[in-house]
A and B are shown apart, each in its own frame.
Chain A
Amino acid sequence: MSTVVPRSDYARDILHVYGIVTWVAIGIALVVGLALAWILVRFRDRPGVSRVPAQTRGHTLLEISWTIAPALVLLAIAIPTIQVIFRTQAAPPRDALEIIVYGHQWWWEFRYPALQVVTANELHVPAGRPVALTLQGPDVIHSFWVPQLGGKRDVVPGRLNRLTFTAETPGEYRGQCAEFCGVSHANMGMRVIVDAPEAFARWVAAQKTELAEPAGLAAEGKAIFARSACVGCHTIRGVSSGALGPDLTTFGSRHTLAAGLHPISVDNVVAWLKNPPAVKPDAKMPALGLTDEQARAVATYLIGLK
């Protein structure tokens, strides 16, 4: 999640300015620090010699110089700053992939209007193509932050904020909510998977394919799912259409569960299903009173949803 290992044009633009301000800061810190240290040594009072030094009151030329010098340094920072502000907040190009991001307490919803895809917590984007995120919030203020792909932008209910970037390299990048949004703010992570264009196309296709009918334990799990409260909150295409919780249609193809909290495995999913608030404090999903076998069945079903 490093801010200094950029993987998008946006992150690189930022790093350009980041480098300038960091070197300026280090330079000034060294100058002031060394000056201070030297002064303290050179003008230290020696025991037995307590002379009163010349009572210098000031020096106008010095004052002017060290007012102008910082101003020039700041100018050197301000110019690239303004340029990058306008460049990175420009309207996205027409061929940008539009994604709508909804920040919920404490998970992320992603909708691709042009592709008719809905998913949660793990965002797939194609490499080399501009991506235009529109951030909307149904509940409180969150902040979308994937450091390697760019700076953060708040999700402010009632406003539409935008974040545009073009990812460069395929890979998996971590992100996390960056505006305190309640009890489990720390547990509102996400993953952005940058796919090569063909891989992205395959992923999109997989989101829209009819799900295979499960068998065995997974079939039991589906049956439990379909008759439980799950259907009131979650959507699994062809099975349920709840709108309060994450879309689970391709849950099994994700790498993590509960917004980047744990890797997906049967045990982790079982632990979650049995008692979500124990895994993620104050999670809105209640414990449903599933037995171990029921949880295992449902977990097997969910992991099979690819």
Chain B
Amino acid sequence: MTSADASGRVLHAPPLAGVETPATVSSWLTTVDHKRIGILYGATGFAFFLLGGLEALLIRLQLAVPNNTVVSAHVYNALFTMHGTTMIFLAIMPFNAALFNYMVPLLIGARDVAFPRLNALSYWLFLAGGLLLNASLLAGTPPDVGWFGYANLTSKHYTPGPGVDFWIVSLQILGVSSVIAAINFIVTILNMRAPGMTMMRMPVFVWMTLVVQFLIALAFPPITVGLIFLMFDRFFGTHFYDVAAGADLHLWQHLFWIFGHPEVYILILPAFGIVSEVLPTFARKPLFGAPVVIYSGVLIGFFGFSVWSHHMFAAGMGPVADSAFSIATMLIAIPTGVKIFNWLATLWGGTIRTTTALHFAVGLVGLFTIGGLSGIMHASPPVDLQQTDSYFVVAHLHYVLIGGSLFGLFAGAYYWWPKMTGRLLGEWLGRIQFWVMFAGFNLAFFPQHYLGAIGMPRRVYTYPGDAGWTAGNFASTVGAFGIGVSVLLFIVNAWRSLRRGASAPADPWDGRTLEWRTSSPPPAHDFDTIPPVYGRDSFWREKYGPRRGAPAAASPAPPHLPASSHWPIMIAHGMGIAAVGALTHVSIVVIGALWTIWGIFRLALEHHRTHAHADQTGVLGLDHRKMAMWVFLGSECFFFGTLVATYLAYKGRSVVGPAPHEIFNIPVTSLSTFDLLMSSLLMVLALAAVQRGDRRQALLWLFGTAFFGLIFLGFQAYEFTDFVHKGFTLQRNLFGSTFFVLTGLHGTHVAIGVLWLLALWVLALRGRLGVADAVKVEIAGLYWHFVDVVWIAIFTLVYLIP
């Protein structure tokens, strides 16, 4: 429902009784509205994108001619490090997040995401991480070790300055931001779909988003652990990447690429999802083989975890590993190729309207094909051993990331801009922008295939004049500036659109999906009534048939709009301060940590008494919070799995003693294990007591669980102290590093659990933990039991097995 003023400009739908969308700065700082958060991600991501683009142009200027002196070697090495890190983490991922945020609730007929305040927190953490990374520039010490920072170049010995520390800490914050958002979107997509919206009726963009969130939740833990290892090596003298102490430098590479490869699918699948929406809309036909496109996306996500060592073909893993990863990589090309063919078949037989959005989507199909094919070439280790670490792989990665991800994002931008802003982007200027970008991009990167083939390595700040690389580099530089011009054209187009662009109706493209069913832009509550779902391409069916299934009844009560909150930005501040402390002084870490914990408590209790928050049961019959905890625990499985795997991989490699059997006290540790097991029993009793409203017993068992947890921590403190007295410390040997970090992080999880339980206990003490709050105790219980199970695994694999 929209109305227009005298000039024909579309106004927001009449707001729900009393709920308005103010335009103040503070309303933006405390917003929890998914649409505003999407805009924040998009605008902030765009600013970082420009920064990363500037870094690219400086790189290309330096390489335009041989033996150039535009920048020094030091600056150049920082430029390519920052360019890669920025474009991946601060540009493409936030652009994807902008569209996840804005569009996913609309596409599934929901009014917001499952956890609006956590959603805001994800954004503010992203901003904090991005600012922290770029603060390294202001400090004059940007990281200069490449965006995948191989150990041991990143060790304190070889790179003593704080650049790497900025890099580590920023990436950790960005990781937390991403994983929180992943949990949020998984619960949203699974649990908040409109009635009638079965999984297979969801738009493909939503499916790709879902796969991406699982990839994020499971791929970030390994790099979190790898970065923890690096941080501990640099700050605390551990030996994870210390060859002299018996470490294996392949460990960093494995941990990084177990993240890094799924990361590239995280970057591209949303673009595939966008194309899967844009092509059908402008061909006026359904996506050809939509279920197959969905299944192939799921397969790509799943198998994306099996190919990581194709980044390590030159590292010397041996012929068997090389062959296995080569075959796995080739297999993944099949579902990817299938998508390309399905997109072609979508256009075939259609009535194709060549809007700018379609231009970019078609551009992706063509350019990603080229990037994917150069990727298949890389999949063969013999060929890869010539191509990797040369400009050939630089060409490949830019074809898939720019030709793929960025072109997809521009398609999404032109497609959804009217929905998000109520204006149309200029089509004429848009097409010019497309062609300038297409020409500039191909001129910039196609010659790089050739440069790699004639032997130009990557990451070189200059090259000799007699290598034959000059012409290719010069052409590439010209092309890069062409890309820059096209970005400027986009800015002009966007500016003009916002200032005085033609106003957009609700459905400017005769669309197929639910977002076109509400006004442009949507009201704060997204839909006046939750839309009926008639099948895949539900809105198209509603307009033109055939309809399947009866329309859902209009929702009776006015929708509950999530209230703004300042706790997300406060928590992000706390974590930012702690991160700065990691680079400066431990006291600042403590302040930041305390601030963060305070913020978390306030956020958790902010709606403790809000009636609308009591029941959060979703479409699958599961409470949002329980589902979220399960997803989080899945992520934690990978976290602890990585730690345990490292322990086992490094077993027996310590150069000096003590060895495990010389130092462990199995009888005592068995007691503490028993204690932790019993605490889980007490947790079960506590939950049962809360569920039946037995306040006395709830108090008893909640405290009991926490107390047993404290006993466990006491045992651990005793054990650690005993070890240190015997000379077995974190720094002593490789075993010390792996043991103390693994059990220390587990102990930290126990401590957090104890705090959580004590908080619940205090709530119960004050009579504020009733039957309606049982789910909060249940999720604490899930966490507690998980931490217990992890200990059983640690006790078995580390202590018991010799």
Where the two chains meet, the residues of A that have a C-beta atom closer than 8 Å to any C-beta of B are 1-4, 13-14, 17-18, 21-22, 24-25, 28-29, 32-33, 35-36, 39-40, 43-45, 49-59, 62-63, 66-67, 70-71, 74, 77-78, 81-82, 84-86, 88-89, 105, 135, 139-141, 143, 145, 147, 150-154, 156-159, 161-162, 174, 176-186, 281-282
Contacts and interface: CB of A to CB of B under 8 A. Distances in A.
Interface in B340-390: 340-342, 344-345, 347-354, 362, 365-366, 369-370, 373-374, 376-377, 379-390
A281 B366 contact: no
A262 to B, nearest CB: 9
A49 to B, nearest CB: 8
Top 9 closest pairs, chain A to chain B, by CB: A151-B385, A1-B455, A186-B460, A161-B316, A158-B243, A25-B373, A58-B289, A3-B386, A281-B73
B243 A45 contact: no
Contacts of B330: 74, 77-78
B566 interface: no
Contacts of B365: 32, 36
B333 A182 contact: no
B230 to A, nearest CB: 14
Given A28-B373, A36-B362, A281-B74, A3 B459 contact: no
Contacts of A182: 153, 158-159
Interface stretch (B132-140, B246-254, B265-273, B748-756): B246-254
Interface in B434-463: 452-463
A206 to B, nearest CB: 27
A232 to B, nearest CB: 20
A24 B153 CA distance: 38
Interface stretch (B2-10, B320-328, B595-603, B708-716): B320-328
A18 B386 contact: yes
Contacts, number: 262
Given A25-B376, A33-B369, A157 B288 contact: no
Interface of B: 72-74, 77, 144-146, 150, 152-153, 158-159, 243, 247-250, 283-286, 288-292, 314-316, 318-319, 322-323, 326-327, 330-331, 333-334, 337-338, 340-342, 344-345, 347-354, 362, 365-366, 369-370, 373-374, 376-377, 379-390, 452-463, 467, 544
B248 A159 contact: yes
B73 A63 contact: no
Given A18-B386, A82-B326, A85-B381, A53 B283 contact: yes
A145 B388 CA distance: 11
B314 A54 contact: no
A185 B333 CA distance: 33
A176 B353 CA distance: 50
Contact of A33 (B250, B351, B366, B460): B366
Given A55-B285, A141-B150, A40 B352 contact: yes
A160 B387 CA distance: 22
A147 B316 contact: no
A70 B337 contact: yes
B349 A56 contact: yes
A158 B351 CA distance: 61
A183 B80 CA distance: 12
Contacts of B249: 141, 156-159
Nearest to B77: A183
B319 A89 contact: yes
Given A32-B365, A51-B351, 13 more contacts: A18-B377, A21-B376, A70-B334, A77-B380, A81-B326, A84-B382, A85-B382, A89-B318, A151-B384, A152-B314, A161-B315, A183-B74, A186-B463
Contact of A82 (B323, B338, B353, B362): B323
B283 A143 contact: no
Contacts of B247: 158
Nearest to B144: A183
B382 A14 contact: yes
A49 B353 CA distance: 11
A185 B81 CA distance: 14
A4 B344 contact: no
B203 to A, nearest CB: 15
A241 B69 CA distance: 37
A185 B374 contact: no
Contacts of A81: 323, 326, 380-383
Contact of A174 (B337, B376, B455): B455
A54 B345 CA distance: 12
A54 B319 contact: no
Given A141-B153, A151-B385, A178-B389, A85 B351 contact: no
Contact of A29 (B73, B370, B381): B370
Nearest to B358: A40
B380 A62 contact: no
B250 A66 contact: no
A107 to B, nearest CB: 16
Contact of A147 (B314, B322, B386): B386
B376 A43 contact: no
Contacts of A4: 453-454
Contacts of B315: 154, 156, 161
Nearest to A6: B386
A3 B334 CA distance: 28
B600 to A, nearest CB: 39
Given A21-B380, A71-B334, A180-B145, A36 B344 contact: yes
Contacts of B389: 143, 145, 152, 178-179
Contact of B288 (A56, A86, A162, A178): A56
Given A70-B333, A141-B249, A178 B326 contact: no
Contacts of B351: 43, 45, 49-53
13 contacts: A1-B467, A21-B380, A33-B369, A35-B344, A66-B338, A77-B380, A81-B383, A85-B382, A153-B314, A154-B314, A157-B243, A180-B153, A181-B153
A2 B316 contact: no
A186 B461 contact: yes
Nearest to B245: A158
Given A1-B467, A89-B319, A43 B283 contact: yes
A191 to B, nearest CB: 13
Contacts of A52: 284, 351, 544
A85 B347 contact: no
B314 A151 contact: yes
Contacts of A18: 377, 382-383, 386
A63 B292 contact: yes
- A45, A84, A140, A143 pick with most chain B CB within 10 angstroms: A140
A248 B267 CA distance: 50
Contacts of B73: 183-184, 186, 281-282
Given A25-B374, A185-B459, A17 B291 contact: no
Given A13-B382, A180-B459, A3 B243 contact: no
B347 A39 contact: yes
A150 B386 CA distance: 7
Contacts of B334: 67, 70-71, 74
Contact of A67 (B318, B338, B390): B338
Given A3-B386, A78-B330, A181-B153, A40 B369 contact: no
A58 B316 CA distance: 45
B344 A177 contact: no
Nearest to B74: A183
B386 A43 contact: no
A44 B352 CA distance: 5
A66 B318 CA distance: 33
A156 B382 contact: no
Contact of B380 (A17, A29, A282): A17
A43 B344 contact: no
A63 B334 CA distance: 11
B388 A185 contact: no
Contacts of A56: 285-286, 288, 345, 349
Contacts of A84: 382
B288 A58 contact: yes
A77 B381 CA distance: 11
B647 to A, nearest CB: 18
